[in-house]
Every structure is written in C-alpha cells, then in structure tokens.
Structure 1
C-alpha cells in the first residue's frame, strides 16, 4: 500500500509539461555550446568551419596554418602548435613567432585565409537568429516550470505560440548555417583546385547539434500543442460539470 501511495504521489508530481521542460533544457545547452564555439582553446574542437593552409614553398616560415571559425571568435594554430582563440585572428597570427609580415607568403596567407575567413564570418554567418531562439526557449522553460495550469487554465496557449516562433527561428538558423557553410566549402575547394592548398571542413559537432536542437524544438512544439488542446478540453469539461452544479470540476488537477 505504501508503494502504491508513492506511485500516486509521483504521478501527481510529474506532469507532461515537465517533459517539455527537460527537452527545453537540453535544447538550450546544445545551442549555447554552438554559439560558444571557438571562444576558448578548451572548445577549439567545436567549430563552424575549419580551414587548413599548407605551404609548399620551403622558404616559408609558416608551413601549416589551421583556422577554426565560430560565431563570435576564431582559433588559430601555426605549424601544428596549440590553438589560441580570440575575436581578431590577425592579432593572434601576429603574436606568433613564425609570422613575418615582410615575407610574401605570409602576406598571401593573411589575405587568403585570415581576411577571407573573417569576412565570411562577419558577412555570411549571423548568430542572432539562434540567440533569439535560445532566449525564447528559456522564456518557455520559465513559463512551463513556474506557471501552474490549475490557476491559469489557458497558460498553454501563449506557450504554444512562443514555441512556434522559437521553432521557426531554429529552422531558419539551421538552414542558414547549413547552406552558407556548404557554399564556403565549395568555394574553398575551388581555391584548392586552382590556386593554393587549402582544405575546408564543416564542424561535425555544430552540424549535429543545431539539427538535433531543431528536432527537439519540433517535439516541444508538438507537445505544447497537445497540452494546449488537452487544457482546452479539460476547461470545457470542467465548465460543463460546473454548469450542472457537480463538484467534479473542482477535483480536476493540472495536466
């Protein structure tokens, strides 16, 4: 009997909306990590686009340069050394002892990799769509976690609207990132074939994380729609019983 009472208490404590809260928490963590790519050397393995420049001339002081791009910063590795991350990739390259501004190959390296990559990040990639989606998801999480439908029977209707907007922004951010980075990959591949030895690579983590987040947003939107429909049906059912003066309406709990 004691176990049954515990099960009943647990069922009353855990509601379907709490599943949405967990999914929202996972989505916020995933997309926050995508936005934080290349901000510090600790997360240098998480990037949007990686460019590797290989110098074929023997007199060049830099034989290999690896540049990894994130939404807000970049990470640079010279000649297989450790990554240094920051907002300005050129300053990080100047800080390297191997970089010689008077060397023609170093100047070409800057013009090809650093300037082109920074231009791509600033003009083609935008983090703000994804950032707004994360902020709206945090708002949804707060609404679902702290607003009880027992006191606000129509609380799920505005939640579903915000979920729909957040899902739309997440899809736009995913398609934007996928199309722009794939285009950059093809352009740098053309450069590799015709001019320099440059290799481009799309970050596997960011691609998987942003599309996984979009899938989670779809589940959250469908769940919030079901909760809104169930809440509406419950509200009509309670009003019908109240109309016939039965006490059943006061016994209905939150869904």
Structure 2
C-alpha cells in the first residue's frame, strides 16, 4: 500500500515537472499583474456594498465625550459646546460613516450597514428613522460627502488599471514553448524570444501604471490622514476619525506588484539583449 502511494506521488511529481517548463517567465509576470489589477479594483469598489465596508479611506464616528481642553485653546467654551451637541444626539441611529472612492457607508446603532453612492440618499434614510434627538449632530454624512466629492479623486486609479490591462495583453502575445524538428529529424522543445518592440511597449506602459498608482496611493494616504486629523481638531475632539488600513494595504500592494512587474520586464529585456549580442 505504501509502495503504491509512493509510486502515485512520484507520478504526480513527474507530471508536474513536465508542466513547469511550459510556465514561462511572462506567465509569472501576467499572474502578478492580475493580482495588482484585482487589488486596485477592490480598492475602487470600496464602500459600494455592505460586503466592502472594510475597504474605506476615512471613517468617522462620534466620541462619547470630548477630550479635555488643550492649554493652547483660548476659548474653552467651544469644546464644551461641541460635547453637548454630541451628547444631545446620543440616541442617534447613526453610529459610523465610512467613505470610499465610489461610495459611502453608514452604520446604524443596530449594527446594520447601508451603502450608497449618494450621500443625500443616506441622509434621507437617517431622517426617516428619527429617534427624537439630533440624528447626525455634527453632520458626519455631509462631511463624508464633501471629502468624497472635493478631496479624493479616483481618476488616477481608473487610469492605472487600463494601463495594467494593456501590459497584460502585450505579455499574452509572448511566444511559448513548442516543438520543432531539427535537421536530424528529432523533436525538440524551443521557445523564441518575444518581440523587442512589444516588450518595450509593455515596459513603458507598466512603468506608467506604477507611477500613476504611486501618485494615486500617496495622495490617498496624505489626504485621508490630513482630513482625519483636521476633522478631530475642528470638532474639538467630538469626532473620532480613522484611516482605513485595508484600503492602504490594497493600494500600496497594487503599486508594489506593478513595480515588481516593471523590474521583471526590464530584466527580461536586458537579458535578451545580452544573449542576442553574445550569440548573434
């Protein structure tokens, strides 16, 4: 029985090793590029459905009580005023607001998430479920609307993804392994070099995708952090703001994978050039 298991395992290993040579270098780059496209696509789709509420750029919620006045505050009455406003809305149905590139999600006190691309629609939902107090004391939904519409911009990410798709299509044209008959009538497996112009075009588009995604994610990181700090400051500690860690991981992950693919293409082009000069 053990001998049969070893033989089947050895047979599986032989079949796998036969397939490995057909997994070309460009196939690995295509897989990495697919990962980058998927990561950036998920980032763009954040907060469009309740299933993607963890993919957000900025989250806003009310603090139970405001922080103590800072010695640098001349008019300390403002801190007390904001704290009282939030306290009056302690029975609010709104627990948290999260903002993504294409949508906004609100969390009700019951734990239910509601997502929409329209902040006005979410505000109407909160108004319909009035509890007798201030439903959104400091207008977190309005703040989220302003942040989404006037601070963040998804155009660069929408540009990065098509650039990655173009690179993927260029890599798909690279030749794979095939059999040829030599002068002696023997079959042998060969793999021609990919087209140099196509390789250079793929490298150019991949570098462009990396630069565009870098600028987009860096801007996303800076503005989300700055908006969170300013939101907490201007509310005198009555609002708790936090940057979405999942969105940051997706964004920077997509950029780094794009960069790895660009480096891989550059190494391939230089290697082919050296081999062509050596044996040409």
TM exceeding 0.5: yes
Query: Of 45, 48, 52, which aligns to 1:36?
Result: 45
Residue 3 of structure 1: CA displacement?
A: 9.5
Contact kept, 8 Å, 2:93 with 2:135, in 1: the verdict is no
- Partners of 1:4 and 1:209 lie apart in 2 by 35
Q: Which residue of 2 aligns with 1:170?
A: 213
Residue 94 of structure 1: CA displacement?
A: 1.5
Residue 80 of structure 1: CA displacement?
A: 3.7
Contact kept, 8 Å, 1:64 with 1:80, in 2: the verdict is no
Query: Of 123, 135, 144, which aligns to 2:150?
Result: 123
Kindly indicate whether residue 130 of structure 2 is the aligned counterpart of residue 99 of structure 1: yes
- Partners of 1:106 and 1:151 lie apart in 2 by 62
Q: Which residue of 2 aligns with 1:137?
A: 164
Residue 14 of structure 1: CA displacement?
A: 1.7
Equivalent residues in 2 for 1:1-255 (5 A)? Answer: 9-54=18-63, 55-57=86-88, 61-62=91-92, 64-96=94-126, 97-99=128-130, 105-106=134-135, 108-110=137-139, 113-148=140-175, 150=193, 152-193=195-236, 197-237=238-278, 240=280
- Partners of 2:235 and 2:147 lie apart in 1 by 17
Instruction: Give per-residue Cα distances to partners, 1:123-151, cap 9 Å, x unaligned.
Output: 11011101111111111111112333646
Residue 32 of structure 1: CA displacement?
A: 0.6
Higher helix share: 1
- Partners of 1:172 and 1:85 lie apart in 2 by 27
TM-score w.r.t. length of structure 2: 0.74
Residue 237 of structure 1: CA displacement?
A: 4.2
User: What is the Cα-based RMSD across aligned positions, in Å?
Assistant: 2.6
Instruction: Give per-residue Cα distances to partners, 1:169-221, cap 9 Å, x unaligned.
Output: 01101110011001011101203436xx2111111100111111111112111
Contact kept, 8 Å, 2:196 with 2:269, in 1: the verdict is no
Query: What secondary structure sits across from 2:261 in the alignment?
Result: helix
TM-score w.r.t. length of structure 1: 0.80
Pair 51,5 (structure 1): closer, same or farther in 2 beyond 3 Å: closer
- Partners of 2:263 and 2:136 lie apart in 1 by 53
Contact kept, 8 Å, 1:62 with 1:98, in 2: the verdict is no
Contact kept, 8 Å, 2:224 with 2:243, in 1: the verdict is yes
Long gaps (5+) in structure 1: 241-255
Contact kept, 8 Å, 1:93 with 1:99, in 2: the verdict is no
Long gaps (5+) in structure 2: 1-10, 64-85, 176-191
- Partners of 1:232 and 1:7 lie apart in 2 by 31
Q: Which of structures 1 and 2 has the bigger CA Rg?
A: 2
Deviation larger for 181-190 or 12-21: 12-21
Residue 29 of structure 1: CA displacement?
A: 0.9
